Structure 1
Amino acid sequence: MYDHRRLGRELGLFDTDPLMGAGLPYWLPDGATVRHELEEYVRELERAAGYRHVYSPVLGKRELYEISGHWSHYSDDMFPPMKLGSEEVVLRPSLCPHHALIYRSRSRSYRELPLRIAELGGMYRSELSGVLGGLTRVRAIQLNDAHIFCTLDQAVEEARTALTLITRAYADLGIRASRHRLSLPGEGGKYVADPALWRRATAMLKEVLDTSGVTYESAEGEAAFYGPKIDVQIADAAGREATLSTVQIDFHQPERFDLHYIGADGAKHRPVMVHRSVIGSVERAVAHLVEEHGGAFPAWLAPVQLVVLPVSEAQEGRAYDLLRLAQLQGLRAELAAPDQGSLGARIRAARLVPYQAVIGEREAADDLVAVRLRDGRRIEPLSPAELLHRVAARVEARGTVLWADA
Structure 2
Amino acid sequence: MHDHRRLGRELGLFDTDPLMGAGLPYWLPDGAVVRHTLEEYVREAERAAGYRHVYSPVLGKRELYELSGHWDHYSDDMFPPMRLGAEEVVLRPSLCPHHALIYRSRSRSRSYRELPLRIAELGAMYRSEPSGVLGGLTRVRSIQLNDAHIFCTLDQAVDEARAALDLIARAYADLGIRAARHRLSLPGEGGKYVADPALWQRATALLREVLDESGVDYEEARGEAAFYGPKIDVQITDPAGREATLSTVQIDFHQPQRFDLRYIGADGARHRPVMVHRSVIGSMERAVAHLVEEHGGAFPAWLAPVQLVVLPVAEAQYAPAESVVREALAQGLRAELAGPERGSLAARIRAARLVPYQAVIGERESTDGLAAVRLRDGRRPGPVPVGELLARIAARAAARRGALWE
| Coarse TM-score class (shorter-chain normalised) | over 0.9
The secondary structure found in structure 1 opposite 2:149 is strand
**1:404 Cα offset (Å):** 4.4
**1:268 Cα offset (Å):** 0.3
The secondary structure found in structure 2 opposite 1:266 is coil
1:202 pairs with one of 198, 204, 216: 204
CA distance in 2, matches of 1:220, 1:110: 35
Q: More deviation in 95-104 or 83-92?
A: 83-92
Q: Does 1:403 align with 2:404?
A: yes
Equivalent residue, structure 1, for 2:391: 389
Matches within 5 A, 1:134-153: 134-153=136-155
**1:317 Cα offset (Å):** 2.3
Paired residues of 1:298 and 1:402 also in contact (CA < 8 A): no
Letter in 2 for 1:403: L
Deviations 1:313-354 (A, max 9, x none): 222222111111011111111111123222211111000101
Matches within 5 A, 1:6-405: 6-106=6-106, 107-399=109-401, 401-405=402-406
CA distance in 2, matches of 1:291, 1:63: 41
Deviations 1:184-212 (A, max 9, x none): 00011111111111111111111111111
**1:257 Cα offset (Å):** 0.3
The secondary structure found in structure 2 opposite 1:238 is coil
Paired residues of 2:58 and 2:125 also in contact (CA < 8 A): yes
CA distance in 1, matches of 2:25, 2:340: 35
Q: Identify unmatched segments of 5+ residues in structure 1.
A: none
- Which stretches of structure 1, 4 residues or more, deviate above 6 A after TM superposition? none
* TM-score, normalising length: structure 1: 0.98
Letter in 2 for 1:5: R
CA distance in 2, matches of 1:91, 1:366: 59
What is the RMSD of the two structures over their aligned residues, measured on CA atoms? 1.0
Paired residues of 1:299 and 1:402 also in contact (CA < 8 A): no
Paired residues of 1:304 and 1:332 also in contact (CA < 8 A): yes
Paired residues of 1:354 and 1:402 also in contact (CA < 8 A): no
The secondary structure found in structure 2 opposite 1:97 is helix
Q: More deviation in 366-375 or 246-255?
A: 366-375
Letter in 2 for 1:389: A
Paired residues of 2:312 and 2:340 also in contact (CA < 8 A): yes
Q: More deviation in 370-379 or 53-62?
A: 370-379
Number of positions where the alignment pairs a residue of Structure 1 with one of Structure 2: 404
Q: Identify unmatched segments of 5+ residues in structure 2.
A: none
**1:363 Cα offset (Å):** 2.2
* TM-score, normalising length: structure 2: 0.98
CA distance in 2, matches of 1:211, 1:80: 42
CA distance in 2, matches of 1:247, 1:63: 26
